[in-house]
Structure 1
Amino acid sequence: MAVTAPTRWRTGTASVRGAAHRRNGMPNQDAVRATRCPDHTPLILALADGHGSARCFRSHCGARLAVGVAHLARSQLHEPVGLSQVKRWAEEQLPRELVRQWRRRVERHLAREPFTANELAPLDAAGRRALAANPFLAYGTTLLMVIAAPAFILYLQLGDGDILTVAANGGIERPIAKDPRLIANETTSLCSPQAWEEMRVTFQALAGTPPGLILAATDGYANSFRDEAGFQQVARDLWEMIRSGGWDDIEEQLPDWLQEATEQGSGDDITVGLLAERTDPRRPDAAPRLERDAEPNERATPTETA
């Protein structure tokens, strides 16, 4: 779809290495990236959570490849077509293209860096057979994706993690409902043989006011709270801070809040991406600050966790 009016979104991202991962010497297996297309619209936010199991020993690489691939979608968003065509592309073509491009990048990475004896040593016979049958398994990762444009917002999810929207009145919604198939540590993944069929897509045409805030997070964040209500309250609190002019404070303190969450809660890596409607009338056309791919963060932070 051709986009001419600038979207007025602020973006912020943060990623911290899980407390348990630090103790075990494991890397941050999450990745995040926010990119604005040429002419400043639309904006694409992508998060990925590498599985980190013994068989998925390169999942931190797989996550970084996934957020890079997600941003290839920008090349499809400048054609002068209507919303119905964009919706059809998002539901029918985008999932297959994401999987295809991710696999291509994994194959290139593996060609440059074949599996080493040290990487394979922890695997039992069954694990080696599984990897021989499906080498993408070593790079297994989830993917969360949001595309925000003036006329629509697109949400895509594969695997666990959370996307919440906050309306101007503070109402919380999940544009993509929780997948009942994801129990305990089970999750759908880009390494699955037909991963495109597992992707869930929600397309929202914007007839009125867009959400005031979109929060996307890997599952380590929600798992740090006692219940869903506690997690949703974080999104509501962030929106209240933004409305009160506290965006700069959020950008500064978000890594610390996530660090405290992993230390007191899940122990997992935690990555968050925020899209907030720009409401400051003094800077209506100011470009939002974009973050680079987040690296493991060693600073300390707050939130009411389990």
Structure 2
Amino acid sequence: MHKWFNQHIQAASLVIERLRQQWLGTLLIVTVIGVTLAIPSLIYVILQNANALISDVKKDAQLSVFLTKSATQSNIDTAKSTLEKLSNIAEVTFVSKQTALKQLEETSDNPELINALEENPLPHAFFIKPLSIDNLAIQSLKSEIEKMDHVAEVIVDSAWVNRLNSLLNIGKKAVWIFGCLLGFALITVISNTIRMQILTHKEEIEVSELFGATTSFIRRPFLYLGTLYGIGGGIVACILLWLILFLFNQSVEEIAREYASDFTLQFYAVSTFAYIVIISVLIGWIASYFAITFKKSTP
């Protein structure tokens, strides 16, 4: 066990020394990995933030229930009693057509035009806050209310949010596909770089084989090389991602303040950093494994 551990320490030290001697080439390959990983990571983080923003908006979702013009006070009381008994309703607010017209008059730029109306065109309405913001639950509640007597129309105010959420889900899938394609491209680039390293140390490898070096002993430094490329690239990607989001946040905060919001782009530093570095290390290790295996099978 002690011998095995020393062999790994020796291999890692050898690789670090080679990287130090070839620092410019190492910097270039690590930068390429970092920039390539930063692109899909940035898009994914932005989509995650947009999804969090939409979730906050959906919490304020409500259903607007408009009654028919012929609805009487008795019909209104019956409708309110029926609505309050439904399971997925947290709060029911009634707004009479007189109150609605007064509110419209107060907020309108042309109150004289409203005063000139011969009759009130607005209907009585209920505004409902649902317990569950799940799309299926809201649609089920909407269908149930539409079946009630003297209900003219039911509008789900968060319908546009659900459509936007669907678009975001499509965007996330596109990012995963895009990320996989870039991952394959990185594997190819790193694999070719390590193959060049193998060719550079070809004579040293052949001498080691003559002295009875095992396959794992020969492969180990190159696997470490790919892993270190991955670690370096992952760190560069995280730094770039943090810098870009930091610069973006200044503009985002200015826009949010215009809408009386404190929304900012969240980096989710620990989890995002860990995922990026782990993915980068896996890409580096897989690329080095392919490079060694392909070279071994090539005469």
TM-score normalised per structure 2 = 0.23
Larger radius of gyration: 2
Give the helix-richer structure, 1 or 2. 2
Give the strand-richer structure, 1 or 2. 1
